[in-house]
Amino acid sequence: MFFLLNITRSAHSHVLLKQNKLNPRVFFSSLLENQENYNVESQHVNQIRSNWKLRGGNFSDFRRITVKGGAGGNGCVSFAKEIHLPQGPPNGGNGGSGGNVYFIADINESSLAKISSNVTAESGKNGKGKDLHGHKGKDLFITVPVGTVVREIQKPVYDFLELYDLDEKFDKKTVAQRNSDNNQPEFLSQYEEIKKYHNEESGKQRFQTKSKNKSALDLLYEQTELERKLKNGLSDMYSFYPSKDIHEESFDLKNLPHEYVDYLFKLKNQIPIEYDLNTHGQQALVCMGGTGGNGNPFFASLPSKSTYIALKGLAGQKRILELELKSVADVGLVGMPNAGKSTFIGAVSNAHPRIAPYPFTTLNPYIGTVDLDKSNQITIADIPGIIKGAHMNKGLGHSFLRHVERSKVLAYVIDLSKPNPWDDLAILQSELELYDKSITKKPALVIANKADLHDTAKSNYETWIKFSTIPIVPVSSKEVKNVKKIIRILEKLVNSTK
Ligand SMILES: Nc1nc2c(ncn2[C@@H]2O[C@H](COP(=O)(O)OP(=O)(O)OP(=O)(O)O)[C@@H](O)[C@H]2O)c(=O)[nH]1
Ligand SMILES: [Mg+2]
């Protein structure tokens, strides 16, 4: 009978998982571990499911995403045409630059789940005739929870950079000039290093080519290939006025607009970003929008007077990022499931967490604020319960400990009415150390909860204080007794870390 029940339950859960109604990690770990450790009935599994759905089922504190700035708009080839002026001057407008992407830390956000995996800002509009410049693409502002750490994890590939001879065509003077214009001193040194490297590399190649004896047919083939590549490449870079000859020097990077070439250099020498957005309102530029292309008046003004070409806009900057939410709170509550962490935070702060008499009621970490007086507050983070073996992903695992990693003070919430409550403290401390060795060195205290259950709590307390090395304060979160004392101690501990 039990076997049958299990099969039916797992078939049902399979359907739910397929429908994305359950988080598999939460579901399976709770099903397997909770039943073993807590003898929880299937009602509990249902409870976890409904909890998960209630919260939208979409908490996430770790994401990998790709972010792109908007592409620049293309420049336009156009000429003024009027009755008395059949062949007027060039008047193609410039393309607008693409929108930038910014991240902003916001206390109203609590999860990374709603950030899409591919984020792109708006493109700039193309230029038009009659000197109409394209509009700039709108900047994109993405709100992330306070405590989000942004890391670039992979170098992006910009295929189009191959079209530009960024290493050969520049002389030092031009680059130095550009750098002084832009106040970017590190730009030159990086450029020098890259150029040196490429010179060495191309030196080697040249040597190898010379040593080969090529036939006239091979040389002809290479020549035609080169021309074909150049033609294809150029059509990617420029808009041409049909059937007109183009002066070659127009393609020289020296003759391209400064901001266009600077942008190309920035992409080529992209420096990886790392931000810790840990205060409300903190803003970070993550990706620049691509530069827009210039219209034909720009080329007409060059000595070569190439009036028949315009520049195409450049693709936006790209970054492959890892986002990790590490909550920032003064105090981190750590405890076994059911110890009363959420009841405590509900009793002392503005938070209204879900409280229930079974383990793993809390599935997502959250932060409550305690008002000490008009201007002072402390923040407390509640996280899902930790059990023995959490570091091996038992229970809900120990990844939630990232949310107390940055707390100044740790408060261990222990059920004082259990037999040998000190064993729970030892388990919690060892799980914390397996997550991060230094974490248990923070100032700490024990919130010895459920002290109202006198029968066992009183004698446990009396035994425990005789050998404990950290302060133990008996409280009843349910009856809101002695909790003010805890807050006063926590305040002192937090201040001692400043
Ligand atoms: N008698 C008594 N019961 C308490 C006290 N504090 C909490 N409880 C009860 O313990 C049960 C669990 O409380 P929660 O606050 O949900 O426990 P938790 O540590 O947040 O549990 P998880 O979220 O599952 O990790 C609830 O039934 C509470 O009513 C207390 O001081 N005294
Ligand atoms: Mg809870």
CA 342 to centroid of ligand 2, rounded, Å: 4
Total Cβ atoms within 10 A of residue 461:
18
Where does ligand 1 bind, in terms of residues with CB under 6 Å?
335, 337-343, 355-357, 359-362, 384-385, 449-450, 452-453, 476-478
Q: How large is the average pLDDT for residues 51-62?
A: 62
- The residues that bridge with 366 in the sheet, in sequence order, are 382
Kindly indicate the confidence band of residue 229, based on its pLDDT and cuts at 50, 70 and 90. low
Nearest residue (by CA) to ligand 1, atom 13, is: 340
Ligand nearest to the CA of 386: 1
pTM (2 decimals)? Answer: 0.73
Q: What is the pLDDT of residue 226?
A: 65
Q: What is the pLDDT of residue 241?
A: 64
The percent of residues in the chain predicted with pLDDT above 70, rounded, is: 73
pLDDT in tens, 2-55: 433 333 333 333 333 333 333 444 443 443 344 344 333 345 544 554 554 444
Which atom from ligand 1 is nearest to the alpha carbon of 475? Answer: 31
pLDDT in tens, 294-305: 998 888 877 767
Q: What is the pLDDT of residue 228?
A: 61
- Most distant CA pair in the chain: distance in Å? 106
Q: How large is the average pLDDT for residues 63-72?
A: 95
Among candidate residues 130, 141, 147, 52, the one with its CA nearest the CA of residue 94: 130
Kindly indicate the confidence band of residue 65, based on its pLDDT and cuts at 50, 70 and 90. very high
On the question of pLDDT at 394 being above 70, the answer is yes
Nearest residue (by CA) to ligand 1, atom 24, is: 360
Higher-pLDDT residue of 325 and 309 is: 325
* Domains of the chain, earliest start first: 58-178+219-325 (2.70.210.12), 331-496 (3.40.50.300)
pLDDT in tens, 155-195: 898 988 877 767 654 444 444 444 444 433 333 343 344 34
Kindly indicate the confidence band of residue 210, based on its pLDDT and cuts at 50, 70 and 90. very low
Q: Mean pLDDT over all residues of the chain? A: 78
Q: Map tokens 């080969």 to a residue.
A: 212
Cβ atoms 290, 124 nearer than 8 A? yes
Q: How large is the average pLDDT for residues 460-465?
A: 93
Share of the chain residues as helix, strand and coil, in percent rounded to the nearest 5: 40, 20, 40
Of the ranges 44-58, 150-164, 274-288, the best mean pLDDT one: 274-288
On the question of pLDDT at 463 being above 90, the answer is yes
Q: How large is the average pLDDT for residues 335-356?
A: 91
